[in-house]
Structure 1
Amino acid sequence: MGDYRSRPSSSEGEKPQVLQPFHLTATGYNLNYLPEYIALRHGFFREQGLDVRVKIPTPWDGVLDALAEGTADMALGGIWVPSMYRNRSQHYTVFAQIANRCPLALLRRGQGDGLKLVDMVGSTVLMKSGGGASVGLFFKMLLRENGVDPKSLDYIQDLDGVMLGNLFQGGMGDYFITDNLSALAMAEHNPDVSIAMEMVSQGDIPWSVYYRETAPLTPAIFDAQKRFYVALAKGIDWVLQHDAESFRDELAELFPTVPIDVVVRVTNLFRRNGMWTSTSVSREGFDRWQQGLADARLVKEPFAYEAIVNDEVAAAAQSAK
């Protein structure tokens, strides 16, 4: 999926609305960003006077270049990046979230009911890493939370996700962690593998957030961000209020390479399990993820909420809905 922008919403003959450009850079194109795509397609940003344009750089860490160059007003990605950079290189401030849960799934060979993580000790787990470190960070945190030493498993995680998926189906490793869409599509296509865990059920975590370089918020920047988050919150509400089956044609346009029944099923799974809640970052989820990052040595110790997150804009947007 390449770069994209909000759709025009004025009717024929109507005087065009003068819109303020708002440039967003994102680390990928994912189902867990769905409310943003809905807000773009349904004109929610344009209702707020914003012409939102999105660029997805390759490689993904080009989002940091866009922020440094001033070609992007905001970046969308994992909160582990602003945490990792804090006090080491550049300072970034998180202003809001879109995904409140982990969008991954764990595949295993064969079929079976239930999974005890302790039973994975001694196994080999394949994990894609092309989009950053989040996959390994979350899974190893989950192991520690369940009393399993991550070092008691072996990992293959330095290869492309598609390559690892093909190798897993060909016999490499015991488990494979990938995004929920790809996992379900693989399980439906291949009877020799099944989904052992859908991680959206594993508690709150600020998985995908909006951030920019730390700097004083001018009234103009605050106002633009507030309008962005008002529209984003409307996108979240819209998704939560509509069963995915009712907008399957739109989902098919958004994710044309995935079987539509899979997209509908995963979208409803995310709707039911708290993937999308609000634009505000949960303190409990933040603290949990910070502990996970500290245990993984990405940060020396967990940061306080206020050191990374400025929730004032998101809170103002929530109150303005």
Structure 2
Amino acid sequence: MGIKHRAALLLAGVLAVTSVLAGCGSKGTGETTKVRIGEVTRSIFYAPEYVAINKGFFKTEGLDVELTTTPGGDKTMATLLSGGIDVALVGAETSIYVSQQGSDDPVIDFMQLTQTDGTFLVARKPLQGTFDWSVLKGTTFLGQRKGGMPQMAGEFTLKKHGINPQKDLNLIQNVEFANIPTAFASGTGEYVQLFEPQATMFEKQGKGYVIASFGVESGKLPYTVFMAKKSFIDKNASSTQKFANAVQKAQNWVQASSVEEITDAIASFFPDTDKDIIKGVVKRYKEQGSFATDGIIDDAEWNNLQDVMQAAGELQKRVEPKQLVDNRFAEKAKQSVK
């Protein structure tokens, strides 16, 4: 999906979505402030978010969090721009896409949740010996949706290892995100780029085997962040700080806790997923450092994100961090939350 097409879809989505919920600042009982979060998908990758909810960290900060899942970056951003949610949890690239369209009320990234890509390279057969990316050349590769961060991080990794995705692979990108695991299981592709828990589930079922991590290969970047419109942050600075504090508490807890403890804390968000699967996914993400230890988006991460976007042809021009990143809340949370 090109930049112009993406912009048209995003603007169409904004017109289609109507704001039907009360905004942040509307008080419930006592001193609690309601904050509506829209997450781009329900994923174990977002474990610290669920920890913040189930461990009561938002509640302790005086926030009544309402969490909804708004599948897809375009839909999540459209809902945020239209006022249907207060805070979006989505890839930082979406704030850049909005900026590229021109906006009087830019979307600001204020708290990072994950700091690597969350996908893995899955093969039909177990790895024999040391893996070399060159074995992918000439194979059929089932990739992610064009223009999204998984696909961009995937292609960035492939190019880093001397593979031109469009020329060296039979690259398939016309399968809907939700249908990619099913397509691979039914015989499409020799290799596939998969999120968890599908990768771990495939291993347990003997349908596929993780042989490399795109998260490790593509480096640190603000992969998933909490963001809000600048006007919202300006009007609700106190609530934004409380939000950042709650997330930092969760990040601290995740870093200090065992895989088993984290699994128990988030299992209620995945009632249809076997606990052993959740445990395996948490272990994999924790070991490769996918969960951010704080919400600060540093310049190196921001620039790496833009390198990935630029390599994919999805960046019109580079954006200075200060234009779309506000680290004040994350920095204060890191200093004050213990």
State TM-score, norm by structure 2.
Answer: 0.83
CA deviation digits over 1:241-282, x for unaligned, max 9? 111223544443222222221211221222222212211113
Partner residue in 2 for 1:83: 96
Please tell me the root mean square deviation across aligned C-alpha atoms, in Å.
2.2
Gaps of 5+ in 2: 1-28
Aligned length: 303
Residue number among 205, 208, 211 corresponding to 1:196 in the alignment: 211
- Asked whether 1:26 is paired with 2:39, we answer yes
Partner residue in 1 for 2:3: none
Contact kept in structure 2, 1:293 and 1:302, CA below 8 Å: no
Aligned mates of 1:216, 1:70 — CA distance in 2: 10
- Asked whether 1:105 is paired with 2:135, we answer no
Gaps of 5+ in 1: 1-15
Contact kept in structure 2, 1:103 and 1:200, CA below 8 Å: yes
- Asked whether 1:268 is paired with 2:287, we answer no
Structure 1 residue 61: Cα displacement: 2.6
- What is the one-letter code of the residue matched to 2:191? Y
Partner residue in 2 for 1:4: none
Q: For 1:1-321, what aligned pairs fall within 5 Å after superposition?
A: 17-58=30-71, 60-90=73-103, 91-112=106-127, 113-129=129-145, 133-151=148-166, 152-190=168-206, 193-202=208-217, 203-215=219-231, 217-218=233-234, 220-276=235-291, 277-321=293-337
Aligned mates of 2:265, 2:279 — CA distance in 1: 10
Contact kept in structure 2, 1:180 and 1:198, CA below 8 Å: no
SS of residue matched to 1:290: helix
Partner residue in 1 for 2:12: none
Contact kept in structure 2, 1:45 and 1:51, CA below 8 Å: yes
Aligned mates of 1:147, 1:306 — CA distance in 2: 33
- What is the one-letter code of the residue matched to 1:279? G
Contact kept in structure 1, 2:153 and 2:214, CA below 8 Å: no
Aligned mates of 1:300, 1:68 — CA distance in 2: 21
Contact kept in structure 1, 2:251 and 2:294, CA below 8 Å: yes
Aligned mates of 1:17, 1:40 — CA distance in 2: 19
Partner residue in 1 for 2:24: none
Change (3 A) 1:226 1:264: same
Change (3 A) 1:150 1:134: same
Contact kept in structure 2, 1:251 and 1:264, CA below 8 Å: no
Structure 1 residue 17: Cα displacement: 4.2
Aligned mates of 1:247, 1:317 — CA distance in 2: 21
Change (3 A) 1:54 1:254: closer
- What is the one-letter code of the residue matched to 2:78? D
Partner residue in 2 for 1:9: none
Structure 1 residue 85: Cα displacement: 2.4
- What is the one-letter code of the residue matched to 1:264? K
Aligned mates of 2:101, 2:78 — CA distance in 1: 17
State TM-score, norm by structure 1.
Answer: 0.87
Aligned mates of 1:249, 1:292 — CA distance in 2: 35
Aligned mates of 1:157, 1:274 — CA distance in 2: 28
Contact kept in structure 1, 2:73 and 2:90, CA below 8 Å: no
Structure 1 residue 114: Cα displacement: 3.2
- What is the one-letter code of the residue matched to 2:87? M
SS of residue matched to 2:314: coil
CA deviation digits over 1:286-317, x for unaligned, max 9? 21110110121211233222222111121122
Aligned mates of 2:50, 2:161 — CA distance in 1: 35
Aligned mates of 1:104, 1:176 — CA distance in 2: 10
4+ residue stretches of structure 1 with deviation over 6 A?
none
Structure 1 residue 161: Cα displacement: 4.1
Aligned mates of 2:96, 2:264 — CA distance in 1: 38
CA deviation digits over 1:141-194, x for unaligned, max 9? 11122232222222212223453323323322110111131111111102x531
What is the percent sequence identity of the aligned residues? 20
Change (3 A) 1:283 1:204: same
CA deviation digits over 1:199-241, x for unaligned, max 9? 33232111101112334843x5111111101010001111111
